[in-house]
Chains A and B, each alone.
Chain A
């Protein structure tokens, strides 16, 4: 019997050594430094958020969070191992230590934040259900949609949320249901419905697939809350702080007007907020186990939040999503970062 056990042990040890074991413990920061790369879980392809470009490099708003953390921790934004995960396995991969950071447009909800043993480190994108209508209809707000025929993808929470919204506002609508998002685009294009509904981040990607993208507008109204953000395991507060403050550094940089282009001049700035952020006045990375230039590395290699937004999903990208709710707090949006002090 002990002989048999021995074999099992040997065999599993063999598999593990063959395939290269990774260890996940509380010291994610030390492991990351030792490995020389951040293990980052991304999607298996989501326009503007995480998708490989023509050269095989991952691009997107979610990807930039991975890059920011790598820049802060290792000083090199390219030191990231991207693990592509589908919606089902993303939390297992994080819990089992296969990835140290999950940046895969994941909605922040109570269950995920508590029972699953995860921590959400902030919000990178305030998403929610929106509407796209044909420009010819001349509709400017969701409250004018009474009686509209709406193309919806079936089996999604969108279907329920839209029904709730219309009932709450005492309006009627005629749902035209499709199986896949491509079919909803086809239905909208063929004129089977007046309105196409989905998460606003998806609507922009669907809009490009129309024959005449300029003939459709996305209404500014958002009727549900889908805050998307990076996720880490519970139980490693240092790592949690690093991810959280990497995002905050990008937001603060935008607020103070520091971009990847002017960061080298800003280093000499007299403004105390900027000096503290860029590590010229005190070392605010110390509390996280990082060097004083952690935020400088993020901004110079990845850019501030606004740059990342415009490049990946905003006006500088084919998706052309408005800043809207994702504008900074002092410009009419929700994005607000605590001060670095």
Chain B
């Protein structure tokens, strides 16, 4: 018996357990049934993708200015191209677009500043974003001050209006939601019942009803001769509606914090607001990130409902552009464009929330 004293040389793993071939074998062709399903799946994908790509890219028309530039064999992106400014700014006067651009620039700069961890002065930037910027944006967009011509709100529209509705809704709904959630958990009967009634009322009514009430009924209730700007009406309705949902999300987070945390804080002699602000809410808000972002994304998409009260948000302005008799029949292109823009925003929100969760993960993950 001869024992081999030396170790066998290390060899690479067999080729059928490594690389893309192995991955395909393990995941897609691991047995006859899976092979069949994979092939059927690929065929369906082929049936769907080929015409889509042909329509959207290969046969599509990209350059031009009128409908005559479109062959109509594929997508006519000329339409989106010709109306792009309008899709972004709505009916905002062309000569005043620089004002909207400043607001857009400030908006995205502030968001980036707050989102990128390395940049300093977060606290001051946040204060400016919540207080200074909205005022500056209002002055710039609406005008009427500093010799800026007035642009009434019925001329605002497009992506600008969508972002405005969504951000005002989000910024307004979060604090109101926190207060409502705390109120609902409070021991004070009047505060508690007010919060419960408020939340259950707004949660029990569809958003479309709220908007219709705000636009059709409210003017009839107001004393004759007084009318509130319809954008303001929509904003108030949207914010109150969202804050009820936000309150329930936050309440869910609050309930996940063990009671001992609050009791320990109370034992240290902290007041209610200190207990909440320093101990409970920081832990709870962190856990609620998925829920809050979920609410924000649904709010962002819900803003399209303002279309029914005659405000031209992104989808509304696309539809209005479709009714231009020079561009009849290009609805598919318009809707695909609107869907794409919405997807970009919602997807980035979702990715950022996942990043935030990873960053703040301090062992709560279960």
- B322 & A45 in contact (Cβ 8 Å cutoff): yes
What total of chain A residues lie within 8 Å of the partner, measured CB to CB? 46
Contacts of A219 in B (CB 8 A): none
In the bound complex, CA of A13 to CA of B216 (Å) = 21
- A55 & B309 in contact (Cβ 8 Å cutoff): no
- A89 & B228 in contact (Cβ 8 Å cutoff): no
In the bound complex, CA of A18 to CA of B226 (Å) = 12
Q: Is the interface of A mostly helix, strand, loop or mixed?
A: loop
- Select B310's contact among A15, A22, A59, A83, beta carbons within 8 Å: A83
Does residue B227 face the partner (Cβ distance < 8 Å to A)? yes
Contacts of A84 in B (CB 8 A): 154, 310, 312, 320
In the bound complex, CA of A47 to CA of B320 (Å) = 9
- B154 & A83 in contact (Cβ 8 Å cutoff): yes
- A81 & B331 in contact (Cβ 8 Å cutoff): no
- Select A318's contact among B219, B228, B328, beta carbons within 8 Å: B328
Q: For residues 301 through 328 of chain B, which have their beta carbon under 8 Å from a beta carbon of chain A?
A: 307-310, 312, 316-317, 319-326, 328
Q: For residues 114 through 138 of chain A, which have their beta carbon under 8 Å from a beta carbon of chain B?
A: none
- A95 & B310 in contact (Cβ 8 Å cutoff): no
Does residue B25 face the partner (Cβ distance < 8 Å to A)? no
Interface window among B85-93, B117-125, B198-206, B279-287? B85-93
Contacts of B91 in A (CB 8 A): 52, 56
- Select A208's contact among B212, B307, B325, beta carbons within 8 Å: B325
Contacts of A55 in B (CB 8 A): 94
Q: How many A-B residue pairs have CB under 8 A?
A: 122
Does residue B83 face the partner (Cβ distance < 8 Å to A)? yes
- B310 & A47 in contact (Cβ 8 Å cutoff): no
Contacts of A208 in B (CB 8 A): 325, 328-329
- B227 & A92 in contact (Cβ 8 Å cutoff): no
Does residue A21 face the partner (Cβ distance < 8 Å to B)? yes
In the bound complex, CA of A15 to CA of B214 (Å) = 14
Q: For residues 245 through 299 of chain A, which have their beta carbon under 8 Å from a beta carbon of chain B?
A: none
In the bound complex, CA of A319 to CA of B216 (Å) = 33
- A48 & B228 in contact (Cβ 8 Å cutoff): no
Q: Which residue of B lies closest to A84 (CB)?
A: B310
- Select B308's contact among A45, A56, A86, beta carbons within 8 Å: A86
The 23 listed contacts between A and B (C-beta, < 8 Å) are A16-B226, A23-B226, A44-B307, A44-B310, A45-B323, A47-B328, A51-B324, A52-B321, A54-B324, A56-B93, A84-B154, A84-B312, A84-B320, A86-B309, A88-B216, A92-B219, A95-B220, A96-B220, A97-B225, A98-B230, A208-B325, A209-B329, A313-B325
Which A residues are closer than 8 A to B by beta carbons? 15-16, 18-25, 44-48, 51-56, 59, 81-86, 88-89, 92-93, 95-98, 182, 205, 208-209, 211, 312-313, 317-319
Shortest 3 CB-CB contacts between residues of A and residues of B: A45-B323, A96-B219, A209-B329
Which B residues are closer than 8 A to A by beta carbons? 72, 82-83, 86, 90-94, 152, 154-155, 212, 215-217, 219-220, 222, 224-230, 232, 307-310, 312, 316-317, 319-326, 328-329, 331
